[in-house]
């Protein structure tokens, strides 16, 4: 029997606090070796791609394995569709029985935002008060929501190449949070104003230069999630303490992938993984002046941890529809 959860039902139980707690535990499990996570597989298409992400994780709440099938189609907004949509299936690792078949679109957005929040929690200065965001798409919202929960942000600065979209996000954030929110004309002004900088664009050309980044800045590099994408000047990576979510994924599809392929960055320049920092195996920020970078590619452990938390909460509240996809009559 499988619990089927629609996107609307997922959103009845999903919030950023749940996401932060689940994703933090997911990274801790990864850092402590309690996860089995093969590299994601890509299906490249003419107008986008699909990614198959699967793995296993041992959480305090239970042992779970599962699969996420997720697309990225950059032209979808012009069609009135989300750029990213996903489906998540969770299974009992001991028997293979399916526990839930759920919409994963909102979970993907929230878990990515929560990863940025966890990174800011351990890498940003404790007194970081100004949040800069480059890119005003869907991911900007959850990045802002997560960072607002881990730092006392007093000002938000937003820019996007589509000025109207950036202004709309500014208006939305100003209505949601009791802090000043302003529109910046370009990445330079946004970066110069930020203690914590989020880059969440599909760019394949660096948008942020080293000489714009002030000492003590933390950067969540979110946009690079496929080969050829990059948002940061490689000189930033050479100067900063670089933390990845996973070396294998980051090396072929994260912010470091292009500099690595060109010889502008070497593997030994990576400080470690976010899981190692969360698990206490490596310290986070070392001093108030250093620049830190979190290279986020998105891991199945985040989806499994948050998906299991959503499934558990939905089951407690009687949400969803139980389906018997496979009639089991007994025997082997």
Domain count, the chain: 2
Read off the pLDDT of residues 243-276 as tens digits, 9 standing for 90 and up. 999 999 999 999 999 999 999 999 999 999 999 9
**148 and 196 in a common domain:** yes
d(CA 286, CA 41): 35
Q: Is residue 305 part of a domain?
A: yes
CATH number for the domain harbouring residue 21:
3.30.1780.10
Residue 8 scores a pLDDT above 60? yes
Instruction: Count H helices and E strands in the chain, helices first.
Output: 11, 16
**203 and 175 in a common domain:** yes
Q: Is residue 309 part of a domain?
A: yes
Q: Is residue 328 part of a domain?
A: no
For residue 124, what pLDDT is reported?
Answer: 98
CATH number for the domain harbouring residue 172:
3.40.50.720
Q: How far is CA 3 from CA 13, 22, 155, in A?
A: 14, 20, 42
Q: Is residue 118 part of a domain?
A: no
For residue 1, what pLDDT is reported?
Answer: 83
**95 and 144 in a common domain:** no
Other Cβ atoms less than 10 A from the Cβ of 54: the count is 19
Q: How confident is the model at residue 327 (pLDDT cuts 50, 70, 90)?
A: confident
**58 and 129 in a common domain:** no
**185 and 160 in a common domain:** yes
How long is the chain? Answer: 332
289-308 mean pLDDT: 97
Residue 328 scores a pLDDT above 90? no
**20 and 145 in a common domain:** no
For residue 285, what pLDDT is reported?
Answer: 96
For residue 104, what pLDDT is reported?
Answer: 98
Q: Is residue 37 part of a domain?
A: yes
Q: How confident is the model at residue 207 (pLDDT cuts 50, 70, 90)?
A: very high
Domain that holds residue 198: 125-295
Rg (CA), the chain: 19
For residue 330, what pLDDT is reported?
Answer: 62
Chain-centroid distance, C-alpha 98: 25
**252 and 219 in a common domain:** yes
Residue 329 scores a pLDDT above 90? no
| This prediction's pTM | 0.94
Q: Report the catalytic residues.
A: 68
**305 and 284 in a common domain:** no
Q: Are 52 and 104 in contact (CB under 8 A)?
A: no
Residue 332 scores a pLDDT above 80? no
Q: Cα dihedral sign for 317, 113, 86, 98?
A: negative
**278 and 133 in a common domain:** yes
Q: Is residue 115 part of a domain?
A: no
Read off the pLDDT of residues 72-124 as tens digits, 9 standing for 90 and up. 998 998 899 999 999 999 999 999 999 999 999 999 999 999 999 999 999 99
**172 and 209 in a common domain:** yes
User: What does pLDDT average to over the chain?
Assistant: 96
For residue 287, what pLDDT is reported?
Answer: 96
**269 and 211 in a common domain:** yes
For residue 226, what pLDDT is reported?
Answer: 83
Residue 160 scores a pLDDT above 90? yes
Q: Is residue 167 part of a domain?
A: yes
d(CA 168, CA 148): 19
**289 and 142 in a common domain:** yes
Q: Is residue 53 part of a domain?
A: yes
């Amino acid at each position: 029997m499988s619990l089927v959860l629609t996107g609307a039902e997922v959103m009845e139980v999903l919030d950023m606090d749940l996401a932060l707690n689940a994703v933090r535990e997911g990274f801790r499990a990864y850092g402590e070796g309690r996860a089995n996570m093969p590299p994601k597989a890509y299906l490249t298409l003419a107008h986008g791609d699909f990614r198959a992400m699967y793995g296993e994780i041992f959480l305090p709440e239970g042992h779970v394995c599962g699969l996420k099938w997720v697309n990225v189609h950059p032209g979808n907004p012009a069609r009135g569709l989300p750029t990213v949509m996903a489906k998540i299936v969770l299974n009992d690792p001991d028997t293979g029985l399916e526990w839930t078949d759920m919409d994963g679109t909102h979970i993907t957005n929230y878990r990515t935002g929560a990863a940025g929040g966890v990174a800011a929690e351990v890498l940003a200065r404790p007194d970081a008060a100004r949040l800069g965001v480059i890119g005003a798409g869907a991911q900007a919202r959850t990045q802002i929501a997560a960072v607002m929960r881990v730092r006392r942000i007093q000002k938000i600065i937003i820019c996007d190449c589509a000025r109207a979209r950036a202004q709309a996000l500014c208006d939305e954030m100003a209505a949601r949070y009791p802090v000043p929110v302003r529109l910046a004309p370009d990445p330079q002004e946004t970066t110069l104003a930020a203690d914590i900088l989020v880059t969440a664009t599909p760019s394949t050309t660096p948008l942020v230069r080293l000489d714009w980044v002030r000492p003590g800045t933390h950067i969540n590099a979110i946009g690079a999630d496929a080969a050829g994408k990059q948002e940061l000047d490689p000189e930033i990576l050479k100067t900063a303490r670089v933390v990845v979510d996973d070396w294998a994924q980051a090396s072929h599809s994260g912010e470091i992938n292009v500099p690595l392929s060109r010889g502008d960055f070497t593997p030994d320049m990576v400080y470690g993984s976010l899981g190692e920092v969360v698990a206490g195996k490596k310290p986070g920020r070392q001093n108030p002046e250093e620049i830190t970078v979190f290279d986020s590619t998105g891991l199945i452990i985040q989806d499994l941890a948050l998906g299991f938390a959503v499934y558990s909460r939905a089951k407690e509240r009687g949400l969803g529809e139980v389906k018997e996809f496979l009639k089991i009559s007994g025997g082997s």
